[in-house]
Amino acid sequence: MEAKQKIYHLQAEILKALAHPVRIKIVEFLSRGEQCVCKIVPAAGGERTGVSKHLSILTRAGVLSARKKGLYVYYSLKTKCACNFFSCCENLISEQFRERKEVNKAILRRK
């Protein structure tokens, strides 16, 4: 596989890993710093087993890192730039709402 194609593939894998509301919530929660699973589960909302699966997906994709300390597992973002990505998404959402609002106004003016 060509190097550029490999990068596209890896980027798609990261995006797939982020493509779930609970995982986005986890990433947002971890943007404040490393946390124990015992704190991530209530913040993410859900059952421990489900949240553990989401954490595993994010870790396999390279978004999170994990370390074990005694009986506890602590997770953190490998890089904070994941939060920049979500800021960009929010800008895109705002733009979509603005465009829809303009289209709706134009439709109403026609009536």
Residue range 57-107, pLDDT digits in tens: 999 999 999 999 999 999 999 988 888 888 888 888 999 988 888 878 787
Number of structural domains in the chain: 2
pLDDT at 34: 97
AA letter at 78: K
Are 63 and 9 members of one domain? yes
pLDDT at 106: 80
Are 10 and 49 members of one domain? yes
Listed in sequence order, the residues at least 6 apart from 48 whose beta carbon sits closer than 8 Å to its beta carbon are 37, 41
Are 31 and 73 members of one domain? yes
Are 62 and 93 members of one domain? no
Judge contact between 105 and 43, C-beta under 8 A.
no
Give me the domain span that covers residue 107. 80-111
Are 66 and 30 members of one domain? yes
Task: Count Cβ atoms below 10 Å from residue 51 Cβ, excluding itself.
Answer: 21
- CATH number of the domain within which 38 lies: 1.10.10.10
* Rounded-to-integer distance, Cα 56 and Cα 40, Å: 13
